[in-house]
Amino acid sequence: MNKLDATSLYNIHRSIKHFIHKTPLITCDTFSKITETKNLYFKCENFQKTGSFKLRGATYALQTYITRALRMNQPIDNLEIITHSSGNHASALSYAGNLFGVKIRVVMPNNGPSAKREAVRTYGGEITFCEPTQQARELTTELIMAKKPMQLVHSSDNYLIIGGQTTVAYEIFKEIGDLDYILTPLGGGGLLAGTCLSALHFSPRTKVIGVEPALANDAYLSFKSGAIHPPLPPLTIADGLRIGVGVRNFEIMQKHLHDIITVDEEEIMRATFLIWERMKIVVEPSSATTLAALIKYRKMFRKKNVALVLSGGNVDLRNLPFSRDLIEL
């Protein structure tokens, strides 16, 4: 990943572009006025296949593992992939596995959204449930791998996954040549690390900022201290951001990230509702963290050109991620 250059990023995008959507980059005058930004753009990965940006990394990773297997004259039928995920990576990997004919085994927390569990099953992934902690996810995965050799594809702490996620910002920078800031949600850090690498090669003046829930701010603590902080209890409503920051991601963030800012639960829920109401699109709370941060720290972004990544839209519509007492402007 240290040898990744602009040509490499272009080749990654070219290799997966036929399997993904080039998601729209849209504007919203309401939020531009509220935040007093010069220009405000939303990269809508909630419209991506499987409902999140995760398909980009999953597709690139599987393509690479398949290519390696073929070079070693190994049958694809013997290639079996395992991961642990709260949902979006699991469904993306299951979708890609079904597309390429690769078996996918997924360890999921037992309190994850039902919509994400059903998506994994629909795409053919085999689920093993575990307790909703990082330790339980990793231990359950290790126990399964001890019984049968499998290729572990971490949801974020994997250079191939990071490489695939660079394509989100790559598409943004190809469409917009003058950005002051780009904000992405921050969980394990795959999307954020990929965004940092794309900015490095295609828009060096753009400041990349990660947004993290205050109840899951291990990456914020890690970034400020210079050493990885253990994951916090999974209490945030932003279920896609409950995982701890990865080692590979953190190394990239330390070199190229401008800053990490946090938002609280009420701010996340209100931003989720506002996007649903004003933009007429469905996003999950993890996605809405970027708008929550823009509103909270609007003075920082006043009169600036800003892009927000809406990372996904996989929501259990029977359990809406906001309450009536939080939807007043």
Q: How far apart are CA 257 and CA 215, in angstroms?
A: 21
Q: How many residues does the chain have?
A: 329
User: How far apart, in Å, are the Cα atoms of 231 and each of 153, 189, 253?
Assistant: 19, 13, 17
Is 303 one of the catalytic residues? no
Task: Classify residue 114 as exposed, middle or buried by CB count within 10 Å of its CB (0-12, 13-18, 19+).
Answer: exposed
Q: What residue ranges in the chain does DSSP mark as E strands?
A: 25-26, 39-44, 80-84, 103-109, 126-130, 151-152, 181-185, 207-213, 259-263, 305-310
Among residues 43, 49, 52, 54, the one annotated as catalytic is 54
Among residues 43, 49, 85, 86, the one annotated as catalytic is 86
Which of 40, 71, 73 is CA-nearest to residue 310?
A: 40
Q: What is the dihedral of CA 156, 17, 290, 304, to 10 degrees?
A: 130
Instruction: Please identify which residue in the block is written with the tokens 């990544």.
Output: 309
> Would you please indicate which residues are annotated as catalytic (active-site) residues?
54, 86
